[in-house]
Structure 1
Amino acid sequence: MTHLLILFFATFSAAFMATVPPGLLNMNAAKTSVEKGKLNGVIFSLGVSTMIMVQAYIAVLISKFLYRNPEIIKWLQVAALIVFSFFAVYFFLLARRSSQKPIKMVRVSKKNSFFKGLLLAALNFLTIPYYSALNAMWNASGWIQFKISDIATFIFAAGCGTFSVLYLYTVYFTKLESKTETFSKNSNYILSVLMLILLVITLIRIFYT
């Protein structure tokens, strides 16, 4: 039981720290909360966290395979380059178009927010290598074994750590009522720049690791 508690808090902390830096998922959680309401932001965050748990499960299953075949990680990084390039252009064009007219409140169903979170999280190809490496580290430390209870704890902690950060982003931006209009107008530019930064980071990882 003790090792499960250690596993939970270690994985929760790793997921929390990985989600804290501004990125595609947490900035979209804030953007959804500002434009469509806090509830939609929370539901978007639940969609992201659900997909993260699925990816964490996949990572557990293929962690040994990834370490025996490190070239697989390179292919995932190349795929990430394509995704980040697409979103950098997409958010820039969206910002140019939205800046020409006032921001309007859009009524979007809770289901749409949930599936949007699922989709965006699924497009983050670096999640699986990250949790595969994490799983290998915990396994080497003796914190996790390939048992149902250990795997379930690992997956649940990854989802909880991610959701806690996204929820903080949602609450933080909704409390800044005087700045929400400015944030709504500029969020797409911010997201476009963040995609460029992630693109550069991924390039560095490919050529210097």
Structure 2
Amino acid sequence: MAHLIILFFVTFSAAFMATVPPGLLNMNAAKTSVKKGKLNGIMFSLGVATMIMMQAYIAVMISKYLYRHPEVIDLLLKIALGVFAFFALYFFISAKREKAKKIKIVKVSKKNSYFKGMLLAALNLLTIPYYSGLNAMWNASGWIKFEIWDILTFIIAAGSGTFTVLYLYTVYFYKLEAKTDRFSKNSNYVLSLLMLVLLVITIFRVFYK
């Protein structure tokens, strides 16, 4: 039970931090709330969270398949190594190049808010490799065992972390909008640092077993 609590916390935190920087999903959730009402914003957010959980499940299955083949366990860690290196660099460059930018807003009706959220989330191709890398790291750390409760905890934590951020955007959008540039830049630096820490830990596990 203790490892499930740790697994939920670290996965929730990783999902939360990955969703914090203003982007297509959270800004659309906020705008939907402003223009169509808070309920629509929440439904949109639930749609995004649902797709994130589906993508997290696919990521777990990929990691599980690789882990069950002993000859590719090292490859699993190296995949995580590459993922963390990519995201560390990606978030750092994003912070350096951060400029005031207009986020494209997609019109959302009350009837299809939920499915529009799912559709936009599905367009983010970085989600699966991100959670695959996290899953590989958590497995190497002993926080996930590829058992049913571990997998459910990982998936629910990923969805919950994402939904929490989107919900905050729907409620506090006006306050966040005034600080978007600085908020986004600082968040990207934090994410870059987090990915760097995970990168160093993974390097240690790959080369200093």
The verdict on a shared fold, with TM-score over 0.5 as the criterion, is: yes
Q: Any conservation in 2 of the 1:29–1:169 contact (CA below 8 Å)?
A: yes
Structure 2 letter corresponding to 1:26? N
Task: Give the CA deviation at 1:173.
Answer: 1.9
**Could you say which residue in structure 2 is the equivalent of 1:151?**
151
Q: Any conservation in 1 of the 2:33–2:40 contact (CA below 8 Å)?
A: yes
**Could you say which residue in structure 2 is the equivalent of 1:49?**
49
Q: Any conservation in 2 of the 1:29–1:45 contact (CA below 8 Å)?
A: yes
Alignment of 1:137-176 (within 5 A): 137-173=137-173
Structure 2 letter corresponding to 1:135? N
**Could you say which residue in structure 2 is the equivalent of 1:108?**
109
Q: Percent identity?
A: 72
Structure 2 letter corresponding to 1:53? M
Residues 89-147 of structure 1: CA distance to partner in whole angstroms, max 9, x if unpaired?
xx98x78xxxxxxxxxx8822x4000000000000010000000000000000000110
Q: Residue 40 and residue 174 in structure 1: after superposition, are their counterparts in 2 closer, same or farther (change >3 A)?
A: farther
**Could you say which residue in structure 2 is the equivalent of 1:32?**
32
Task: Give the CA deviation at 1:12.
Answer: 0.4
Q: Residue 107 and residue 128 in structure 1: after superposition, are their counterparts in 2 closer, same or farther (change >3 A)?
A: closer
Structure 1: stretches of 5+ with no match in the other structure:
78-90, 96-105, 181-189, 191-209
Q: Any conservation in 1 of the 2:44–2:114 contact (CA below 8 Å)?
A: yes
3-state SS in 1 of match to 2:144: coil
Q: Any conservation in 1 of the 2:108–2:116 contact (CA below 8 Å)?
A: no
Alignment of 1:122-137 (within 5 A): 122-137=122-137
Task: Give the CA deviation at 1:163.
Answer: 0.3
Q: Residue 108 and residue 3 in structure 1: after superposition, are their counterparts in 2 closer, same or farther (change >3 A)?
A: same
Structure 2 letter corresponding to 1:35? K
RMSD: 3.4
Alignment of 1:61-140 (within 5 A): 61-63=61-63, 65=66, 67=75, 108-109=109-110, 111-140=111-140
Q: Any conservation in 2 of the 1:34–1:174 contact (CA below 8 Å)?
A: no
Structure 1 letter corresponding to 2:58? I
Task: Give the CA deviation at 1:35.
Answer: 1.2
Residues 140-166 of structure 1: CA distance to partner in whole angstroms, max 9, x if unpaired?
000001100000000000000000000
**Could you say which residue in structure 2 is the equivalent of 1:23?**
23
TM-score scaled to structure 1, two decimals? 0.64
TM-score scaled to structure 2, two decimals? 0.64
- CA distance, structure 2, for counterparts of residue 114 and residue 175 of structure 1: 25
Residues 58-116 of structure 1: CA distance to partner in whole angstroms, max 9, x if unpaired?
0000125495595xx99xx9xxxxxxxxxxxxx98x78xxxxxxxxxx8822x400000
Structure 2: stretches of 5+ with no match in the other structure:
67-71, 87-100, 182-209
Matched residue count = 155
Structure 2 letter corresponding to 1:21? P
Q: Any conservation in 2 of the 1:38–1:174 contact (CA below 8 Å)?
A: no
- CA distance, structure 2, for counterparts of residue 33 and residue 169 of structure 1: 9
